[in-house]
Structure 1
Amino acid sequence: MMTSIEVSASPENVQWQSINWKAVKQHVLKLQMRIAKATREGKHGKAKALQWILTHSKSAKLLAVKRVSQNKGSKTPGVDGIIWNSDARCMTAV
């Protein structure tokens, strides 16, 4: 389960290094599993609602930024010309 600091704190108040990545990954995986289950059962409205929750969740944003900032192309700037090479820039991106 997510802790209150991961859910409600603003990006400025949370340090990148202090994030409980295991909890973040579990939360995202749980939502993804629920989306897959709803889709299998033909509950498209439920799946759509869960997709909205996932795409707007702090956990999904944190995990996405972590993956992008640590992948093979992380040293190359994107379309915006910014490289997320510091904890502060990663938190701003979230």
Structure 2
Amino acid sequence: MHVEYAANETKEQTRWNAVNWRQANRNVRNLRQRIFKAERTGDHRKVKSLQKLMLRSYANTLLSVRRVTQINAGKGTAGVDQVVIKTPEARGRLVDELHSYHPWQAAPTRRVYIPKSNGKLRPSGFQPSTTG
């Protein structure tokens, strides 16, 4: 897995056949164990922090894509997007796309000018809907 990291992001496309699966499994397993131990001790703040770390984990993204596209019994069935991922290159692109997606970041506000009764314009902003 010859991938360079910069703040948990890849600089080049993921090469699926070069992934060190043993290391990825170890990273995810260790993080799961840390979450379990924190929950067991009742440290809910740490649990939440570790869960966020898991969601942003590159190794977790790799293993998730592998499970859905190679291991899962329904791997040949298209999802709601009507896409089936079959090639290693497509799996690498999917990993990169999923890992760069940040649903917790708000979309920019759109500035709209509303006419006032005196002829001037009043600025207003609204958040465009991201769901259909």
Number of aligned residue pairs? 91
Identity across aligned pairs (percent)?
A: 34
Provide TM-score, normalisation by structure 2: 0.64
Query: For residues 55 and 62 of structure 1, what CA distance do their matches in structure 2 show?
Result: 12
Query: For residues 46 and 15 of structure 1, what CA distance do their matches in structure 2 show?
Result: 33
TM-superposed deviation, 1:4: 7.4
Provide TM-score, normalisation by structure 1: 0.88
> Superposition pairs for residues 1-94 of structure 1, below 5 Å?
5=3, 7-8=5-6, 9-10=10-11, 12=13, 14-70=14-70, 71-94=72-95
Query: For residues 76 and 4 of structure 1, what CA distance do their matches in structure 2 show?
Result: 30
Letter of the structure 2 residue corresponding to residue 41 of structure 1: T
Higher relative helix content: 1
TM-superposed deviation, 1:89: 1.3
Distance 1:26 1:5, change over 3 A: same
Query: For residues 30 and 40 of structure 2, what CA distance do their matches in structure 1 show?
Result: 15
Q: CA RMSD in A?
A: 1.8
Letter of the structure 1 residue corresponding to residue 32 of structure 2: Q
Q: Which has the higher contact order (CA 8 A, sep 6+)?
A: 1
Segments of 4+ moved more than 6 angstroms? none
